[in-house]
Structure 1
Amino acid sequence: MTPALLVVVALAGGAGAAARLVLDGEVRRRLGDGLPRGTALVNLSGSLLLGLLTGLAAGGLLPPTARVVVGTGFLGGFTTFSTAAVETVRLALQRRTGAAVLHGAGQLVAGVLLAGSGLAAGLALAG
């Protein structure tokens, strides 16, 4: 990785983190913060987009640098496993066991399914 590409990936990661902050804040403002819906939306949409990006890159429709900048940089900064884990623990500590299980396991299962769907769509688009 060249120094210039490293800088671009870092900037893309910062942009992804800022986008996460804005989207999560907007979801919390509109729907309340009783459940971590914003984090779920961020992580699930990020999983789908990363799968799609990976499929498009694997099919030759995107250059490897686009996958690195958008996938590793932007989507890496956008998605957040650690926040999802903390929010799952917070729900469990509040004795909201059903919500904790749904949030934790749901993001894992749905994230993998969405990433796989995005990958399949990207590969199909690439022909």
Structure 2
Amino acid sequence: MTVLVWVGVGVLGGFGAVLRFVVDGAVATKMGRSFPFGTFAVNISGAVVLGFVAGLALHHDQNLLAGTAVIGSYTTFSTWMFETQRLSEERQLSTAAVNVVVSVVLGVLAAAAGQWIGVRL
């Protein structure tokens, strides 16, 4: 791995993190905060893009930059779990369960759809 790839991971990872912040905030502002719609939108859109990248079967360095750096920093498992735990603490158990089930099911379907598209290009 070259220094340029390391720098690319840092720069593109920063871009993905900022993009997550912007998308999460925009969606949460529009939809409200009763359900973590911002994190949900980020993770589902990230699953589609990651599936797409996987379907393209890129070279290792390209996959590292696109998949790990950009999409890995864009999506957020830890925030998803934190928000689910917060919903549980607030006794919103049904909402927490919906967050888990719908995120997992749609995330897998989104990744499969993205991969299906990527393979065909």
TM superposition score normalised by structure 2: 0.93
- Corresponding position: 1:81 with 2:77: yes
Task: Tell me how far apart the structure 1 counterparts of residues 6 and 102 of structure 2 sit (CA, whole Å).
Answer: 33
Figure out how many residues of one structure are paired with residues of the other and give that number.
121
Taking only aligned residues, the RMSD between alpha carbons, in angstroms, comes to: 1.2
Matching residue of 2:62: 66
Deviations 1:68-120 (A, max 9, x none): 11111010110000000000111111111111011112211211111111112
Q: Hey, what does 1:47 align to over in structure 2?
A: 47
Q: Are 1:2 and 2:25 counterparts? A: no
Query: Which residue in 1 is equivalent to 2:11?
Result: 11
Q: Which residue of 2 aligns with 1:94?
A: 90
Which residue in the other structure is 1:24 paired with? 24
Once the two structures are TM-superposed, the CA of residue 46 in structure 1 deviates from its matched residue by 0.2
Give 5+ residue unaligned stretches, structure 2: none
Report SS of the residue matched to 1:33.
Answer: coil
Query: What is the rounded CA distance, in whole Å, between the counterparts of 2:103 and 2:30 in structure 1?
Result: 21
4+ residue segments displaced more than 2 Å:
62-66
CA shift digits 1:39-80 (9 cap, x unpaired): 000000000000001101x2xxx4433221111101011000
Quote the Cα distance in structure 1 between the aligned partners of 2:25 and 2:2. 35
Give the fraction of aligned pairs with identical amino acids, expressed as a percent: 40
